[in-house]
């Protein structure tokens, strides 16, 4: 059900940026397949992780980096994505 709601939301609302917490690899792959108009950036690829989606037609990707949260037993990290939209550079943070 969650996967279907996400795809319907993306198709209907067409947000420029979407942040996710606690995705699993199977859900991330499903989102990548069903929303090809979005660039999908994962904060990790194991267990559960964060992710950021960028709408390819309105938000332009420059780079990203992942900063591990020192001492986290739950594999937490900070996903930083640098983008440009309407001529302005942004650093999007997903934790």
Q: Which domains does the chain have, with CATH numbers?
A: 2-94 (3.60.10.10)
Dig out the tokens for 11 from the structure.
């198709």
Q: What value does the mean pLDDT take over residues 15-33?
A: 92
Confidence (pLDDT) at 11: 72
Dig out the tokens for 38 from the structure.
């979005």
pLDDT > 80? residue 72: no
pLDDT > 90? residue 54: yes
Confidence (pLDDT) at 8: 72
Confidence (pLDDT) at 76: 80
Average pLDDT score, the chain: 88
Dig out the tokens for 32 from the structure.
């990548």
Q: What value does the mean pLDDT take over residues 29-37?
A: 93
Report the DSSP beta bridge partners of residue 81.
Answer: 64, 92
Which has the higher per-residue pLDDT, 9 or 17?
Answer: 17
Dig out the tokens for 60 from the structure.
């332009």
């Amino acid at each position: 059900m969650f996967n279907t709601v996400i795809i319907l939301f993306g198709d209907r609302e067409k947000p420029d940026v979407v942040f996710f917490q606690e995705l699993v690899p199977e859900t991330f792959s499903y989102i990548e397949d069903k929303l090809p108009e979005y660039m999908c950036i994962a904060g990790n690829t194991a267990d559960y992780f964060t992710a950021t989606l960028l709408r390819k037609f309105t938000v332009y990707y420059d780079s990203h980096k992942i900063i591990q949260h020192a001492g986290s037993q739950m594999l937490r990290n900070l996903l930083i994505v640098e983008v440009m939209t309407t001529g302005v550079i942004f650093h999007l943070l997903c934790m």
